[in-house]
Chains A and B, each alone.
Chain A
Amino acid sequence: MRKSWLVLLAAVFLVTACESTPDSTADASANAGGGTTTTAPNFSFDPNAGGAGINQLSQDVADRVFFGYDSSELTAEGRTALERQAEWLKTRPNLNATIEGHCDERGTREYNLALGERRAAAAKNYLVSLGVPAAQLSTISYGKERPAVEGSDEAAWAQNRRAVTVVQ
Chain B
Amino acid sequence: MRGTRHMKNWMKKFLLIAIVLASSLSPLASREAKAELKVDITRGVTEPIPMAITTFIGSDGGSNNVGQQISSVVTADLERSGLFRQLNPASFIQPPQDIAASGPKLPDWKTIGAQGLVAGTVTPVDGGRYRVEFRLWDTLVGNQMAGLAFTTTGDNWRRIAHKIADVIYNRITGETGYFDTRIVYISESGPVTKRVKRLAIMDQDGANHKFLTDGSDLVLTPRFNPAAQEITFMSFRNKRPRVYLYNLETGQQRMMGEFPGMTFAPRFTPDGRSVIFSLIRGGNSDIFVMDLASRKVVQLTNHPSINTGGSHSPDGRQIAFESDRSGKQQIYVMSSGGGEAKRISFGDGRYGTPVWSPRGDLIAFTKMLGGQFYIGVMRPDGSGERLISQAYHIEGPTWAPNGRVLMYFKKTGAGYKMYSIDLTGFNERQVATPLDASDPAWSPLLP
Chain A interfacial positions (CB closer than 8 Å to B): 26-27, 30, 35, 37-45, 47, 51, 70, 72, 105-111, 113-115, 117-118, 120-122, 124-125, 139-142, 145-150, 152
Contact = CB atoms under 8 A, between A and B. Distances in A.
A37 B214 CA distance: 7
A146 B193 contact: yes
B322 interface: yes
A145 B218 contact: yes
Given A30-B237, A152-B392, A43 B196 contact: yes
Nearest to B371: A106
A27 B280 contact: no
B190 A35 contact: no
Interface stretch (B1-9, B131-139, B281-289, B376-384): B281-289
Report whether over half of chain A's contact residues are helix, strand or loop; otherwise say mixed: loop
Contact of B352 (A27, A111, A122, A141): A111
B294 interface: no
Contacts of A122: 283
B288 to A, nearest CB: 14
Contact of B262 (A43, A105, A141): A141
Nearest to A29: B216
Interface string B241-253: 1000000000011
Given A35-B252, A105-B393, 11 more contacts: A38-B214, A107-B352, A108-B352, A109-B220, A113-B264, A117-B262, A120-B283, A141-B241, A141-B262, A147-B193, A150-B192
Contacts of A124: 283
Contacts of B239: 51, 140
B60 to A, nearest CB: 42
Interface string B345-386: 000001011000000000000101001000000000000000
Give the one of B239, B328, B439 with max A CB within 10 A: B239
Contacts of A106: 368, 371, 393
Contacts of B262: 113, 117, 140-141
B217 interface: yes
Given A37-B214, A150-B191, A30 B238 contact: yes
Interface in B186-223: 190-197, 214-218, 220-221
A72 B138 CA distance: 62
A106 B350 CA distance: 11
B221 to A, nearest CB: 6
A51 to B, nearest CB: 7
A7 to B, nearest CB: 29
A105 B306 CA distance: 18
Given A113-B264, A140-B239, A42 B392 contact: no
Interface of B: 190-197, 214-218, 220-221, 236-239, 241, 252-253, 262, 264-265, 278, 280, 282-285, 306, 308-309, 322, 324, 328-329, 350, 352-353, 366, 368, 371, 392-393, 395-396, 439
A133 B251 CA distance: 42
- Please list the 7 inter-chain residue pairs (A to B) with the smallest Cβ-Cβ separation, ordered nearest first: A121-B283, A108-B352, A42-B216, A110-B265, A114-B285, A114-B306, A150-B192
29 contacts: A27-B238, A30-B216, A35-B252, A41-B216, A42-B217, A43-B195, A43-B216, A70-B350, A105-B393, A106-B371, A106-B393, A107-B329, A108-B309, A108-B329, A108-B396, A109-B220, A110-B264, A110-B265, A110-B278, A111-B308, A111-B322, A113-B308, A114-B306, A115-B306, A121-B284, A140-B239, A140-B241, A145-B197, A150-B193
A50 to B, nearest CB: 11
Contacts, number: 127
A125 B284 CA distance: 13
A43 B192 contact: no
B213 to A, nearest CB: 9
A110 B280 contact: no
B214 A39 contact: yes
A79 B353 CA distance: 33
Contacts of A147: 192-193
Given A110-B308, A114-B278, A72 B283 contact: yes
Contact of A43 (B218, B264, B285): B218
Contacts of A148: 193
Give the one of A37, A108, A117, A149 with max B CB within 10 A: A108
A2 to B, nearest CB: 37
Contacts of A27: 238
A125 B282 CA distance: 9
A83 to B, nearest CB: 20
Contacts of A111: 306, 308-309, 322, 324, 329, 352
Nearest to B261: A117
A94 to B, nearest CB: 20
Nearest to A125: B283
A43 B215 contact: yes
Contacts of A141: 241, 262, 280
A149 B392 CA distance: 18
Contacts of B352: 107-108, 110-111
A147 to B, nearest CB: 6
Contacts of B238: 27, 30
B280 A117 contact: yes
A47 B193 contact: yes
A105 B190 CA distance: 17
Give the one of B197, B221, B262 with max A CB within 10 A: B262
Contacts of B282: 121
